[in-house]
Amino acid sequence: MRVFIHFVRDHLRESLAIVLALVVSGAIEGVSYTALIPAAILFFSGDAPSALSTLRGPARIAMQATRAIGLAPTLGCLLAVFFAFTLVKSMVSLLANRKVGYTVARVATDLRLQLLRALLSARWEYLLRQPLGRLANAVSWEADRATGTYLHGSAMVAAAVQLAACTGPWPCCSRGGRHCSTSPWPLW
């Protein structure tokens, strides 16, 4: 964990951009699945108007949003919304993963440059006592493992933020661990 925190401090702007892009991608995915709920209800119910009038929670919000933008909440329309949001989510994920790749490569390059600078400033006697494989391993594999820590750590932070956003109201410390009555998510 200390390695990950060190990398985040060194590359703060890139780390925040990565986590934000991954969280936005997850939120768009959630919206697309929310549009899929009423579509499934329309598909499996025989009486569509009565089935749609009894919707609650995220499905009701998806129906109200569909009506608010002037679209009829039909099966085809809801499936089109689902596929449109899935396409947008894929584009955002592609851009986020591209940024992740560039940032991981930059972190690996920075690590290798730091090691080479340290080796160039070391005394010659120290370098003679080191096995050749140890220095080569430090330049290649250890830098790759360290950047893997950064990559998986940023994905873990994004997943934790998505999990916190999707689980509903958070426990309030001032009320003895009970859920807040003024939750920002009135659906749960």
Tokens 């919304």 found at: 81
**Angle at the Cα of 169 from the Cα atoms of 163 and 171, rounded to 5 degrees:** 100
Within its chain, how far is the Cα of 55 from the centroid?
A: 29
| pLDDT on residue 117 | 92
Q: How many helices and strands, by DSSP H and E, does the chain display?
A: 8, 0
Indicate the pTM of the whole model.
0.66
| pLDDT on residue 49 | 63
Within its chain, how far is the Cα of 18 from the centroid?
A: 8
Q: Return per-residue pLDDT of the chain as tens, 188 residues.
A: 777 787 788 888 888 888 788 778 877 877 777 777 777 777 777 656 666 677 777 777 777 778 888 888 777 888 888 888 889 888 988 888 888 888 888 888 988 898 889 888 988 888 888 887 888 888 888 888 888 888 888 778 777 776 766 665 444 444 444 444 444 444 43
The DSSP result for 23-69, as a single string, is HHHHHHHHHHHHHHHHHHHHHH-S-HHHHHHT--THHHHHHHHHHHT
Q: What are the residues facing 171 on neighbouring strands?
A: 179
DSSP 180: P
